[in-house]
Structure 1
């Protein structure tokens, strides 16, 4: 078994969709990034890559490459998962946290779990997504952006 940790942060911006866990969440602001800035999927990908010491998403999908401009992060997740499978591993489970003051995303978590589980070929109960605030502290508390962290357990295929 291998364990990896991932963390990502993006600031809010106007004229962007808010995509978290592959799901569009209605909000007046979106997250700014080279891709769709899906902070949760980015943290999950980094945790998967980290478990096998394969670097980070910036190494695999650099923000200097226009091929990744505004790309759906779930497409990148599929590529990372293919790499993990090629190395002989499968997902044991993923535990993650998204931190943002607003909007509240609790009702969207089951949709996120369903989408990510399908991509990663696991049961929905193998993908844990929690939401929290930062109690008004820091950039998240000031509603300037969102952060996410994730831990991934990979298991060697038999």
Structure 2
């Protein structure tokens, strides 16, 4: 059961996600998720046009972003059922790389089928695993995932710094 509250997690997240960006080379900024196709609406507070194509990204308020993160990300992850040292790691990765990817990498970290469902089997495996092993395995999965992306040369340094920061939070939460 997580001791980390959504409020604390959100404050941490906004330390990484914030200002409006409309980098044309970032597929998340396009409504189709394909560079050069659809509308370049951008990303703000980590909320992307690719994930929310009908949202007015540029005029998104922090309050609305917080509501979206609680409803569509925190609750969808079953965050209140995951140990606090793990939950922020997975939640942050979900926001950065997609919910399905984060869930599958967490499942790989505890050696269960990576079907993207954080249900009783995955939760039981997490609870039976050594916490530090889960944290190290998960962040290893995360870094390997990033290095396989075609955008690694452009964004890899930032992703690596982000993971380093998350490891500090994992140590605090552990």
Same fold at TM > 0.5: no
**Comparing both structures, which one devotes a greater share of its residues to helix?**
2
**Comparing both structures, which one devotes a greater share of its residues to strand?**
1
Q: Higher RCO, 1 or 2 (CA under 8 Å, sep at least 6)? A: 1
Normalization by structure 1: what TM-score?
Answer: 0.32
